[in-house]
Structure 1
């Protein structure tokens, strides 16, 4: 998606949280625009995505931002490599998974029903980003990876997971890139 002065991020339009995570960088005026400029921006994104671990990250200012940007870069590279059919170096993602230190726990709900939840006991940025790393690993191992696509708009760099019935989704958002393509096609036909 090419950003205009009236559009802001982050967007949750990829139909997969790991892809929404990498979509926090988009094109604006032909240059990348990063919606994360601080640790707080990353924390807010994790909360909006429903991926906050419930514990506040501890560490030097800017560490969560740095770690999130590194993880985002690793996931973006892996998604692009897998789509291109290239060999994958999963070392950076495996490092993030190991650092996350998540554990399964059995929890009783208010109704007494038992369920398994994933807990991240630490407060380091790696633990805060653990849910994202796990979702990215799951996405890369998914048997339906062919449904992961990059928006077809030439100025857009956003990815999405095609959950449509016919699996013919072409745009990150029909309201944004799809509509622009239709308008451009209409104008071209009018000439």
Structure 2
């Protein structure tokens, strides 16, 4: 098993622990461990979590009108899962998840779909960044005018067209190389002590909670 695989399993088990069982102070322990591991990036991790909360708050507001307690609980659970996952995969690229799926013996077609999807998203993000820098260099300022809406409409239309063209180019390129469903990856890094400790900590806490639930 690779480092990426054990990280993915750990994130999955922690998500189950937080999402489906009663919350207690034990769930903070894995977060504490992973934040110590990524102590040099704590500010950036919380910054990313802050921006993701804009989407979470919209979801919580819908629940808030029906049940205030459930809305608060949803907010806490979602943030715990996001904080743990962001911290765990902060220095990882999207391709590490693909590597993890391959290590866990997922079907080769599914692994390939994830790989090409991430590759296409990566390409589109780079292109979007270039377009943004180009608009900034030309003195473009966003406002509520019709020109701004037309500009954004043209940008999204061009990105959509480029996405279709890029996908076709990827298809022809892989066919020319004799690609048949499976992607081969280079050897991954070894599993560190903290990765193992974090994994077993989540497993032990999950087993403890399940035991208390059924005892």
Q: TM-score range by the shorter chain?
A: under 0.3
Q: TM-score, normalised by structure 2?
A: 0.24
Structure ID, larger Rg? 2
From the two aligned structures, give the one with the greater strand fraction. 1
Q: TM-score, normalised by structure 1?
A: 0.26
> Which fold has the larger relative contact order, with Cα–Cα distance below 8 Å and residues 6 or more apart in sequence?
2
From the two aligned structures, give the one with the greater helix fraction. 2
